[in-house]
């Protein structure tokens, strides 16, 4: 192997840190010079490794939570709140279960609620109509956190654009990219497909990036 090949080949953790996330594929992110994982709609991920957790949000919401003392944390990605849904499920696609799964996993691996730092992203009005699912998701997560006595340190929600986010739980760094209209259309189409499938069954702490 020549020197150039050695420089371009980058070590990747053999597996995600915790066993319940072994299904999540890792990849190398050259721009961040870190291993990264992608969280899909209806899933969540927790780690204390120095890795980037990525997802793309339209009307969906992700809550990023970490214990600031030990650096364990992660994100969820939920499609709908429980309230006013025709079908209730224990699926992580619904907000209340997504929140409970994330918080419980962080506590399981040593986190404590009194040390939580919480950032909320997403909830765009992708359909530009009266049925603003994004706003319902935002209202749900804000009420959930208020009821649980958990404060939000940063918020980037609403609007008409989809978002790509990158979160490093170990440090709490959250980066948000507002996507262009063409990406909005793809995100909206994916969310409509996910929603049909279900029916058939403080801001300075957030960085914008190009």
pLDDT number for residue 180: 81
Domain 14-208 matching CATH 3.40.50.620: the answer reads no
pLDDT averages per 10-residue partition of the chain, 210 residues: 46 79 93 94 95 95 98 95 51 81 98 98 80 90 96 95 95 94 54 45 55
pLDDT number for residue 29: 94
pTM score, whole prediction: 0.81
Per-domain residue ranges for the chain? 14-208
pLDDT number for residue 174: 97
Residues paired with 166 in a beta bridge: 54, 175
Q: Cα(153)–Cα(115) distance, rounded to whole angstroms?
A: 12
Residues paired with 168 in a beta bridge: 173
pLDDT number for residue 4: 47
pLDDT number for residue 132: 84
The H or E element containing residue 137 is helix 133-147
Write the CA distances from 136 to 85, 102, 122, 143, 196, integer angstroms: 11, 20, 11, 11, 17
The H or E element containing residue 52 is strand 52-57
Q: Cα(135)–Cα(141) distance, rounded to whole angstroms?
A: 10
């Amino acid at each position: 192997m020549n020197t150039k090949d050695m420089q371009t080949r980058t070590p990747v953790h053999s597996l995600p840190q915790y066993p319940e996330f072994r299904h999540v594929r890792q990849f190398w992110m050259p721009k961040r010079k870190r291993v990264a994982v992608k969280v899909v709609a209806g899933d969540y991920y927790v780690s204390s490794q120095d890795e980037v957790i990525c997802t793309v949000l339209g009307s969906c919401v992700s809550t990023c939570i970490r214990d600031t003392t030990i650096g364990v944390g992660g994100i969820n990605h939920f499609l709908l709140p429980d309230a006013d849904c025709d079908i209730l499920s224990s699926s992580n696609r619904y907000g209340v279960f997504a929140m409970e799964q994330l918080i419980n996993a962080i506590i399981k691996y040593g986190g404590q609620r009194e040390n939580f730092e919480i950032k909320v992203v997403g909830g765009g009005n992708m359909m530009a109509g009266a049925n603003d699912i994004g706003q319902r998701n935002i209202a749900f997560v804000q009420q959930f956190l208020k009821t649980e006595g958990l404060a939000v340190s940063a918020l980037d929600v609403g609007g008409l654009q989809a978002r790509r986010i990158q979160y490093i739980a170990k440090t709490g760094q959250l980066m948000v990219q507002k996507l262009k209209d063409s990406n909005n259309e793809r995100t909206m189409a994916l969310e409509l497909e996910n929603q049909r499938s279900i029916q058939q069954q403080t801001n300075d702490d957030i960085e914008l990036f190009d």
